[in-house]
Amino acid sequence: MEQKHFNMKVKIKTRQVYHKMLEVTVDVPSTLKPNEIRDYLIGKEEDWIDNVDELIYESDFIPGLGLDEEFVLRDQATEWVYELNQTHKGHL
């Protein structure tokens, strides 16, 4: 019978990435031009940020980086985008 000698230690490491995604709807004045929406949302962050924080806390973790055609910033820990319609959207 073969005798086994266990005298070395090996570390096993893992990196598992999870993300959370959510969507909220924010009312904006109809008088805004599409190129003004980003600045408006940033200026009115206090009106919607608490809702985002609450919902992100309650949302489930999803395995993976969460990158797709909308979320593309691989080197960022968080990413914020807005969308008025298919042609008017961007990053906050």
pLDDT of the residue at 7: 86
**In whole numbers, what is the pLDDT of the chain averaged over residues?**
91
pLDDT of the residue at 23: 92
The pTM assigned to this predicted structure is: 0.73
> pLDDT tens for residues 57-85?
999 999 998 888 888 888 888 999 999 98
Q: Count Cα atoms within 13 angstroms, Cβ side, for 82.
A: 19
Rounded Cα gap, residues 55 and 57, in angstroms = 5
Residue 4 pLDDT exceeds 90: no
Is residue 6 very low, low, confident or very high in pLDDT (cuts 50, 70, 90)?
Answer: confident
